[in-house]
């Protein structure tokens, strides 16, 4: 590595995590200004009183004050803010299907059976995605066409105003009622089609088409699996055709029985055939094959969409008579909802069964790892995630229908029978969640505190007895949450899935449900109503004010990270823009040979920072790679992302990245943090008052590490991890300080942050005193630098 000289400077580029931060909080400054970016993402710097970019705080290294340029990359406008993005909260179940796709076990290259299982699992995921779209549209059809148009408006006569009260008499005309019932559904399909066509453009790209071959970087480094599929455009068209086909089937009696009349039968058969063809095509659609694009070019897609819209119009014109008998509603709609729900349940069961051999085959890839680093549930966690997607999607539609029925005062209106089963499941899930919370926080955590006392590592980090007590309590809670929370949630979802199968079996055999389940059903009605009302309230508050969309932003940031794989009707993946954006900004600074660039990511931003640095490490030359560093703070990379998404973040790829950077990857972590944790070390133990462990080595390997050393700021530095004391020790050196246990918040307040940046920049060695690295001294310090006139300044 080249020795730093007197012209050396450091650029720190910060990437925020979940729940959008302001530029001032990200940079820890009183004001910030934009210096680069676009309308969706901005690069910011601290500013002076005249709103001019100002230099950042100096960095103490090489026994002097090093100039540091502080920048931040704000990307949360891609996931929150404004009424359009607020509606994205309703697409959460669709996004969970893409999350399940990312959780699939990695494919074993040498096993043809593993490749076949992976292909079958992806096919089932795409088919379940089609069924989720069909269920969403059909459930809303129950409200708009069945409840409002057929029942409420059917009662509106000059003598009887009906449940809507005071509606004009012409609205009771049957054709008008059909138009009122179908128009909102067509508008919904238009919105979904528009959302599925959006994407964020990385620098240098124009247009709105999806790239055939995204730059995924080096396959040996993390993130090579994060790429948009080539056939997303085709999958998007299939979902739109599915939604239009379902709308056309609603006024004709659904999918179970053919209507009477030759014209109706023709329209019904065409719509049903289009629905079946879309489902089969989506299932056999491959992520990389060229034949789907050749079979369905844009012109053919447009023709099919026109045909589907024509089928909707024809179905509305030749609809079955709307039943105005109150509870009966439109014939066949409830049966159609139940048929789609049964198909979804069957798809989830098939997915869970097929996932077992796939996880067993992939086990050879992580058999040598310690248990705390192996994938969650042995690589089977995608199954409960997919069921949760189906349960949430069905629950939202059921909850919304129940809420609208109560608001309209039509309690006699008959909803699909499956909604009763959904209320039971959600009621049982609510009781289970309350029991888990009670056992975890009321029993398990206090017992751990009492049995373990104050851990030795807490005694090593703190000298004050009161700080030790508060830190020990927070350590106990965070360890329980990081180790066991995913197991508890997965167990709850699996039990709800088993309950769904039991309810289906009881219905097929004609067995009556026990009376003691009725309270659960009542609780489930409340839970479903709360789910629907909560999502709609989040949409409303987020649309009114960007300052009130923090919870929506956190929800979106977690699930909209993934590209459109299983379900295209989701907002575009922000990761496909953030990662290349950050990488290009780093390249911009690396053009100056005296600049060292450190990418620092907080919380979820740590994952984005790792992927950006991995992208750079595989594409720049060695001289530039030596001037790149990485800092992650409060990141769940090891205990969370690495175990939940083993194909995206293979263990060996993270070790390779650490070795490629020669240890210039520093992880700031707190034992009190329930969300973040260590990222480069594990198997920690205290031996003779020394912290030992296993972790990544600077040569790219994995092995035992030297004992941790105490930094000047009180942190224990083991390998690449800096274990910070929390509460932060008070000091009188003029640095900002906060009292109490900080847990996952405000990592910038710890002075170890600056030291980690200096190490990541290659200006300091771990375990050494400040300025321990050698500096390249100028031979003729009284002369200006070669090629620069006296007084010349470096351009920003």
Q: Say which range, 171-180, 197-206, 509-518, has the weakest mean pLDDT.
A: 197-206
What phi and psi, each to the nearest 5 degrees, are found at residue 461? Answer: -85, -25
Give 72-125 pLDDT, tens digit per residue.
Answer: 999 988 877 666 666 777 788 999 999 999 999 999 988 999 999 999 999 999
Other CB atoms within a 10 A radius of the CB of residue 257 amount to 12
pLDDT above 50 (res 329): yes
**Domains identified in the chain and CATH numbers:** 9-80+581-760 (3.40.50), 83-559 (no CATH)
One DSSP character per residue, 572-593 reads: PPTHHHHHHHHHHHHHHHHTST
Look-up of token digits 């329209």: 267
CA atoms of 40 and 592, how far apart (whole Å): 27
Q: Before 727, cis peptide (omega within 30)?
A: yes
Q: How many DSSP H helices and E strands does the chain contain?
A: 23, 15
What phi and psi, each to the nearest 5 degrees, are found at residue 228? Answer: -75, 140
CB-based burial of residue 377 (10 Å sphere; 0-12 exposed, 13-18 middle, 19+ buried)? buried
Residue-level pLDDT at 207: 39
pLDDT above 80 (res 16): yes
Band of the pLDDT at 205, cuts 50, 70, 90? low
Residue-level pLDDT at 285: 85
CA atoms of 656 and 630, how far apart (whole Å): 14
| Residues comprising the chain, all counted | 796
- Which stretches within 565-721 are classed as H helix? 575-590, 605-617, 622-625, 642-644, 651-660
How are strands ordered across the β-sheet holding 32-37?
32-37, 42-46, 68-74, 9-15, 595-602, 628-633, 665-669, 721-723, 716-718, 709-710
Instruction: Give the N- to C-terminal CA distance of the chain in Å, as an integer.
Output: 24
The full 3-state SS of 757-795, as one line of letters, equals HHHHCCCCCCCCCCCCCCCCCCCCCCCCCCCCCCCCCCC
Give 522-550 pLDDT, tens digit per residue.
Answer: 888 888 777 767 666 665 565 555 544 44
Give 758-774 pLDDT, tens digit per residue.
Answer: 999 999 887 554 444 54
Residue-level pLDDT at 215: 43
- pTM for the whole structure: 0.89
Average pLDDT, stretch 680-700? 93
pLDDT above 80 (res 268): yes
CA atoms of 222 and 724, how far apart (whole Å): 26
Residue 70 gets which letter from DSSP? E
Band of the pLDDT at 793, cuts 50, 70, 90? very low
pLDDT above 50 (res 60): yes
């Amino acid at each position: 590595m080249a020795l730093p000289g007197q012209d050396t400077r450091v650029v720190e580029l910060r990437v925020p995590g979940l729940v959008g931060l302001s530029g001032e909080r990200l940079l820890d400054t009183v004001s910030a200004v934009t210096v680069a970016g676009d309308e969706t993402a901005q690069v910011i710097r601290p500013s002076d009183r005249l709103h001019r970019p100002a230099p950042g705080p100096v960095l103490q290294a090489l026994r002097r004050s090093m100039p540091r340029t502080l920048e931040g990359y704000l990307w949360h406008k891609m996931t929150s803010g404004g009424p359009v993005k607020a509606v994205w909260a309703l697409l959460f179940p669709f996004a969970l299907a893409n999350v399940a796709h990312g959780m699939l076990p990695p494919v074993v290259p040498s096993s043809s059976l593993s490749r076949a299982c992976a292909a079958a699992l992806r096919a089932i995921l795409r088919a379940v995605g089609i069924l989720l779209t069909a269920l969403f549209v059909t459930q809303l059809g129950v409200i708009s066409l069945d409840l409002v148009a057929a029942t409420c408006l059917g009662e509106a006569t000059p003598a009887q105003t009906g449940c809507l009260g005071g509606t004009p008499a012409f609205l009771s005309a049957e054709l008008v009622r059909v138009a009122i019932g179908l128009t909102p559904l067509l508008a919904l399909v238009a919105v979904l089609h528009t959302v599925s066509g959006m994407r964020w453009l990385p620098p240098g790209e124009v247009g709105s088409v999806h790239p055939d071959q995204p730059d995924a970087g080096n396959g040996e480094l993390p993130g090579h699996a994060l790429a948009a599929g080539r056939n997303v455009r085709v999958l998007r068209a299939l979902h739109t055709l599915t939604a239009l086909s379902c709308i056309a089937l609603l006024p004709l009696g659904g999918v179970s029985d053919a209507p009477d009349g030759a014209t109706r039968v023709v329209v019904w058969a065409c719509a049903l055939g289009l629905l079946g063809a879309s489902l089969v095509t989506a299932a056999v659609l491959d992520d990389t094959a060229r034949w789907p694009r050749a079979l369905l070019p844009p012109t053919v897609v447009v023709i099919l969409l026109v045909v589907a819209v024509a089928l909707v119009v024809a179905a509305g014109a030749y609809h079955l008579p709307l039943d105005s008998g109150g509870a009966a509603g439109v014939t066949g709609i409830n049966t159609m909802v139940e048929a789609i729900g049964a198909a979804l349940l069957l798809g989830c069961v098939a997915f869970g069964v097929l996932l077992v051999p796939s996880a067993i085959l992939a086990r050879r890839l992580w058999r040598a790892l310690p248990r705390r680093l192996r994938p969650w549930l042995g690589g089977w966690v995608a199954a409960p995630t997919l069921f949760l997607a189906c349960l949430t999607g069905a629950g939202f539609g059921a909850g919304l229908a129940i809420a609208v029925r109560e608001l309209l005062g039509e309690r006699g209106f008959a909803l699909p029978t499956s909604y009763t089963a959904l209320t039971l499941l959600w009621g049982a899930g609510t009781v289970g969640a309350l029991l888990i919370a009670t056992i975890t926080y009321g029993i398990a955590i206090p017992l751990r505190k009492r049995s373990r006392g104050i851990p030795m590592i807490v005694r090593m980090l703190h000298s004050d007895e009161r700080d030790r007590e508060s830190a020990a309590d927070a350590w106990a809670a965070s360890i329980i949450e990081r180790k066991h929370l995913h197991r508890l949630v997965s167990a709850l979802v699996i039990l709800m899935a088993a309950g769904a199968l039991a309810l289906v079996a009881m219905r097929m055999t004609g067995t009556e449900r026990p009376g003691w389940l009725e309270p659960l059903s009542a609780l489930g009605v409340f839970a479903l109503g709360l789910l629907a009302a909560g999502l709609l309230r989040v949409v409303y508050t987020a649309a009114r004010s960007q300052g009130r969309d923090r919870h929506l932003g956190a929800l979106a940031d977690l699930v909209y990270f993934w590209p459109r794989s299983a379900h295209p009707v989701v907002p575009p993946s922000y990761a496909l823009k953030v990662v290349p954006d950050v990488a290009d900004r780093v390249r911009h600074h690396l053009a100056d040979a005296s600049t060292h660039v450190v990418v620092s990511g907080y919380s979820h931003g740590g994952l984005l920072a790792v992927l950006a640095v991995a992208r750079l490490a595989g594409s720049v030359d060695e001289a530039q790679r030596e001037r790149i560093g990485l800092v992650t703070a409060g990141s769940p990379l090891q205990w969370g992302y690495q175990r939940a998404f083993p194909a995206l973040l293979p263990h060996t790829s993270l070790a390779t990245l650490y070795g490629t950077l020669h240890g210039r990857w520093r992880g700031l972590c707190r034992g009190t943090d329930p969300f973040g944790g260590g990222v480069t070390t594990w198997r920690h133990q205290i031996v003779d008052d020394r912290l030992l462990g296993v972790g990544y080595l600077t040569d790219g390997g994995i092995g035992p590490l030297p004992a941790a050393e105490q930094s000047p700021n009180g942190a224990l530095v083991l390998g690449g991890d800096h274990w910070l004391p929390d509460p932060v020790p008070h000091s009188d050196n003029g640095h900002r300080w906060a009292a109490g246990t900080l847990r996952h918040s405000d990592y910038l307040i710890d002075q170890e942050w600056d030291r980690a940046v200096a190490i990541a920049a290659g200006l300091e060695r771990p375990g050494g005193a400040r300025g321990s690295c050698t500096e390249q001294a100028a031979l003729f310090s009284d002369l200006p630098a070669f090629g620069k006139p006296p007084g010349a300044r470096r351009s920003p």
